[in-house]
Amino acid sequence: MKILKSWAPYLAIILLVVLLRTFIITPVRVDGKSMNPTLENGQILLLEKINSNYKRFDIVVINYEENGQTEKLIKRIIGLPGEHISYRNNTLYVNNKKVEEPFFHFETPDFDIATLGSYNIPEDSYFVVGDNRINSNDSRYLGFMKKDQIIGKIVFSVFPNFGFI
């Protein structure tokens, strides 16, 4: 009994860490250059899992499955359910209204989501792209991402930069 009492605090800490990582927040590592210059290859971030109220320009982590393999993608939400998204002359249009993107991104080639087979983003789906638009495998090629594919939202950078995103 004495051994159990001495190990109880350690077991409680381990249980707390497992619960936090499973349900609330977990570290993720950027793999690739599709989010340059906002995020760097190898950067360590914290992913919030409990808030699923995603907004335009949130950076999210997505489970994407292709050929039986699941890959984690880090992308920025550009389009919300029910919206029509297009890019003309490197400018974002949402429902044919110009929208300023408040972050730096590389040039975006002209694009209209109608080429994906739908005039508007389906319910419970999002249109996501990387900030490095020339070097990003995103919704322009993969299609819309369903809400249940989104693991969570990036909220903090741990390494090499430290601070909120």
> Which residues are annotated as catalytic?
34, 75
The full DSSP string for the chain is -HHHHHHHHHHHHHHHHHHIIIIIEEEEE--SSTTTTTS-TT-EEEEE-S-----TT-EEEEEEEETTEEEEEEEEEEE-TT--EEEETTEEEETTEEE--SS-------EEGGGGT-SSPPTTEEEEE-SSGGG--SHHHH--EEGGGEEEEEEEEEESS-EE-
Q: Dihedral (C-alpha) 71, 76, 81, 86: value to the nearest 10 degrees?
A: -110
Hey, which residues does 140 pair with through a beta bridge? none
C-beta atoms surrounding 138 within 10 Å: 21
